[in-house]
Chains A and B, each alone.
Chain A
Amino acid sequence: MSRAQPTSGSGQYRRLIRLVLRRHWLMLGAWLGGLLLLVVITAPAYETTYPELSQRTFMVESLRANTATTLLYGPLPDPGRLGQLLVWETGTYVLVLGALMGILLAVALVRRPEDEGTLELIRSTGTAPWVPAAAALTVLIGQCLTLGGGAGLILWVQAQRIAELTESGAMAFGLLVSAVSLVFALIAVVCCQLAADARTARSWALIVLAAAFLARAVPDATATLDASHRAPVTVLHWISPLGWAQVVAPYTDDQMGPFLAFGAAAVVLLGAGLGLSARREYRSGLLARTRGSSARMRVRSPLAFALRRGVGSWVGWTVAVVGLAALFAGMSSGILELIEGSDATAQIVQQMLGEGSVTSMFFRMTAMFGGILRAIYAVGTVLRVRADEREGLLDVELTTGRRRWEPLVAALLTAAVGSLVMLLLAGGVTALVAQGQLGDEAALDETLGYLVLQWPAALCLAGLATVMVAGLPRLSWLMWALVTVSATLAWLGGLLDPPQWLMDLVVFEHVPDLSVGEPEFWPLGVLAGIGVAGLLVAVPLMRRRDLSRA
């Protein structure tokens, strides 16, 4: 009888890496492919639309004058070369999404296997605790470095062809993307050690991301710009990883020194994550409450239950949306300079857009941003039903004697009501703050209107999600792809200049300009109609199918 040698630690490590890749290749590939695609198309798109630097002057000036864009992207540095535009616009988007990728992946790789019980399975095969942790971290770190490396490589290749792009800028941007996504991933790893379960850890990491965004946006929007239209780099820019874009300033300064500090931050976070993980019990968090609770939950219908379960996430999203609305509105006085100013830029903008349209543009953009967040909330609320189905929770709910469609319709109603209340709150805050900032320039009905008019978009997506859950449950995750593409086009569409038919499909793009004579409302009617039709289609579909955990 031959006795098999026990697999060595490094052999186990390699096998587990293969296992992690096998389980998550789709998620890893989708993030990488999607974000790198954005990087690939940006510079050529800019080049086609504005081949000469001089042609960009007006656009650059108007973007600069819009405080909403400054809040979202930071100040656009002079003179607005392709690389600077790319880092400013697409770069911001890639950094935020890269951070999101890092967080979601970290939770999925580091903590979720523990909650699911698959880690226990691996540990019980005689694998040392460090091996699965090392495998997960290797894939996580590898993914972040690959994202940055890929972005840098793409831009380096494009620099060979496009004269305005530089090789050093490509390198700085690539490193920046790696550093930012990696640091957020490691922050999420630390959260995974502190929180009671994967979902809580994810929420905490997302709160850190939101705080990092604020820490960059507020000093940028309130700063006095210097002669070359740059906001001073503050301590907050160093603290917030999203502010590192201004510290490094790819294609402007290409500072490489700060990467030493960023690398050190990553090492400290990694050490903290490992140190904390050694101190906590399996399947619990260092900050998790273990005390029992005798709280009750008296609900009498699936709707009441859905509303009650959704309160936590609703509060989180509402804080984000209302906070953002307040932030934008608070910065709205910036556009007064455009309207009342007398310098050359102001005059051009006034001539081109007319006074009313400047405020209109500002508030529509603000509302669209809030609209995207609300749509994510609404779709997530509806897709929760599919998650419940997979976890067997829908079975439990239905076999108390409930109709097939009740939980699904309850989720859709929760999403509809939740997003409506959310936008009314955001609208109220926007109107109040804007009134204080702009006085009579802020037409209350308009500011409120732009927010309320984003509701049909959320309804439409929630309705589509309902149909997917009822009719094509296994493909319902595609809703996230739809939301991502819609949000990306809505956010970057202005400069990428996609064909009109494509923009017409973007649900966020149908809010009319209320400052013109006769705004078109029918597209909103269509959107709301799709939402309601989704409900009507979903109910019979849901009654006709098997419930399955597959």
Chain B
Amino acid sequence: MTSKPSTPSAEHAGTERLGTEHPVEVRGLTKRFGSFTAVEDFDLTVQAGTVHGFLGPNGAGKSTTMRVLLGLYRPSSGTVRVLGHDPATHPAEATRGISSVPGDVSLWPNLTGRQALDVLAGLRGRYSHRREAELIERFALDTTKKVRSYSTGNRQKVMLVAAFAAEAPLLLLDEPTAGLDPLMEIEFGRCVREAVGQGRTVLLSSHLLAEVEELCTEVTIIRDGRLVESGHLEQMRHLAASSVTASVPAARAEELSARLAERGLRLARPDDGLSAPSTAPAPSAEGQGEVRLRGSVDREQVTGVLGLLAESGAQDITCTPASLEELFLRHYEVGAR
């Protein structure tokens, strides 16, 4: 059972200063470790009251950015504002308004889950014990056991309970569901939506695309420490690419491929190794019937490609905005090359 959204004391938590619009504003962030540049000239804006997805391959710089936001790393250059504070110089003021769940949860091994929650609540101060009790119930967390004997998932639950029970206007969640079972993932989704309902802002880093697609309205994609794309999820999908499928008479497939190649495009058969999964079962045999082709086409090319397909006598042409997965893989694969 969910309680009524608690009074949004989180919203006017006193940590915000005049003149700041967004809970998180990062401009030109660069973080170097010796000669290694983990994040370079990175921008990030998280709008108040949204769930902002933070995506990128492993080692892209997500956690480094998160640690800068938390004031644990000092930026090499660039400006960072979290709830109106510079976390590098005023980490306490910034983090007072942040609930965070780190990617790799560490807790004091010789305390029980109950004691760890007490410590987290006591150190923070602004905390709803009523909400905590409810969350413990919802996440089915046994708080009498020592942290040492907890699994990764249980340690994560402790941090999630503490994060959602804290009365902080901003939540920074770094792959928070990595160790949770599917039921708990659903519960987590509910908690995020409730938090947004209370006017809180969430920055969610995740590899679970379904989760991001379901919860986030905006996403930022980072790769090799650089910003790849950022914006409203729906817009990005439409702008980025469309997924085109069509059945082409086998006799004309060669010719079509050549004409597509002139435009620098390629449509492939679903079974020849492109990573996009096929939606239709494999077609009839080659040479006689038709060949089913599939591919990802940039927004501005779509009209031309559809024209070519029509000229080639293609049938069953579909054109859908890219799923997040396709969007994602496109960006990831470029990085891998």
- Tell whether, in the assembled complex, residue B106 and residue A294 are in contact, meaning their CB atoms are under 8 Å apart: no
CB B225 to nearest CB in A, in angstroms, measures 16
Closest to B72 in A: A547
Q: A406 — nearest CB in chain B belongs to which residue? A: B92
Contact assessment for B148 and A301 in the assembled complex, using a CB-CB cutoff below 8 Å? no
**Size band of the interface chain B makes with A:** 35 or more
Closest Cβ of chain A to B83, distance in Å, is 11
Q: In the complex, identify which listed stretch (B122-130, B184-192, B207-215, B229-237) lies at the interface while the others stay far away.
A: B122-130
Tell me if B73 and A305 are in contact (CB < 8 A).
Answer: no
Which of B74, B93, B98, B143 is A546 in contact with, Cβ under 8 Å? B74
B119 adjacent to A299 (CB under 8 Å): yes
Contact mask B156-196 → A, CB, 8 Å, 1/0?
00010000001000000000000000000000000000000
B77 → A minimal CB distance (Å): 14
Q: Which residue of A lies closest to B74 (CB)?
A: A546
From residue A418, how far is it (CB to closest CB) to chain B in Å? Answer: 18
A229 at the interface (CB under 8 A from B): no
- Which of A290, A294, A298, A399 is B95 in contact with, Cβ under 8 Å? A399
Asked if residues B72 and A399 are in contact (CB atoms below 8 Å), the reply is: yes
Question: Counting chain B CB atoms within 10 Å of each CB, which of A301, A401, A402 scores highest?
Answer: A401
Select one of A196, A290, A395, A397 contacting B123, CB under 8 A: A397
- Which listed residue (B111, B114, B115, B148) contacts A196, Cβ 8 A? B148
User: Which residues of A, 532-548, contact B by the 8 Å Cβ criterion?
Assistant: 544-547
Q: Is A516 an interface residue (CB 8 A)?
A: no
Which residues of B sit under 8 angstroms from A546, Cβ to Cβ? Answer: 72-74
B91 and A391 within 8 A (CB): no
Contacts of B166 in A (CB 8 A): 400
**In the docked arrangement, what's the CA distance between A199 and B148, Å?**
12
A197 within 8 A of B: yes
Q: Which residue of B lies closest to A546 (CB)?
A: B73
Q: Are A401 and B124 in contact (CB under 8 A)?
A: yes
**Contact: B72 with A396, CB < 8 Å?**
no
A297 contacts B119, C-beta separation under 8 Å: yes
The answer to whether B124 and A297 touch across the interface, beta carbons within 8 angstroms, is no
B324 interface hit (Cβ, 8 Å): no
Q: Which of B110, B122, B142 contacts A299 (CB 8 A)?
A: B122
Residues 79-112 of chain B, each 1 if its beta carbon lies under 8 Å from chain A, else 0: 0000000000001110111101010111111111
- A280 CB–B CB distance under 8 Å: no
Interface residue? A22 (CB, 8 A): no
Q: Does A300 contact B (CB under 8 A)?
A: yes
Q: A293-B144, A393-B108 are in contact. Are A299 and B114 (CB under 8 A)?
A: no
- Nearest chain-B residue to A297 (Cβ)? B115
Tell whether A197 pairs with B145 under 8 Å between CB atoms, given A296-B115, A399-B95, A404-B91.
no
CB contact between A399 and one of B93, B100, B104 (< 8 Å): that residue: B100
* Bound Cα distance A297, B71 (Å): 27
The answer to the question of B317 belonging to the interface, with a C-beta cut-off of 8 Å to chain A, is: no
B118 close to chain A: CB less than 8 A? yes
* Nearest A residue (CB) for B111: A297
Residues of A within 8 A of B221 (CB): none
| CB of A107, distance to nearest CB on chain B (Å) | 15
Most chain A CB within a 10 A radius of its CB, from B100, B119, B145, B148: B119
Given the complex of chains A and B, what is the CA–CA distance between A296 and B129 in angstroms?
Answer: 13
With beta carbons under 8 angstroms apart, the residue of A299, A309, A396, A547 that contacts B107 is: A396
Contacts A300-B123, A305-B123, A403-B92 given: A391-B106 contact, CB under 8 Å?
Answer: yes
List residues of chain A with CB within 8 A of the CB of B144.
Answer: 292-294
Residues 117 to 140 of chain B near chain A (Cβ within 8 Å): 118-120, 122-125
- Contacts A294-B114, A305-B122, A399-B98 known; 20 new A-B pairs at CB < 8 A: A197-B109, A290-B149, A295-B112, A297-B111, A297-B114, A297-B118, A298-B118, A300-B123, A392-B102, A392-B106, A396-B120, A398-B71, A398-B72, A399-B95, A401-B92, A401-B96, A402-B92, A402-B123, A546-B72, A546-B73
Listed in ascending order, the chain B residues whose CB lies under 8 Å from chain A are: 67, 70-74, 91-93, 95-98, 100, 102, 104-112, 114-115, 118-120, 122-125, 142-146, 148-149, 159, 166
Q: Which residues of A contact B (CB under 8 A)?
A: 196-197, 199, 290, 292-302, 304-305, 309, 391-393, 395-404, 544-547
Nearest 9 Cβ contacts at the A-B interface: A292-B144, A401-B96, A392-B106, A297-B115, A400-B123, A400-B124, A403-B92, A547-B72, A297-B118
A-B contact pairs, 21 of them (CB 8 A): A196-B148, A290-B149, A294-B144, A298-B118, A299-B122, A300-B122, A301-B122, A305-B119, A393-B106, A396-B102, A396-B107, A396-B159, A398-B91, A398-B92, A399-B70, A399-B98, A400-B123, A401-B95, A402-B95, A403-B91, A404-B91
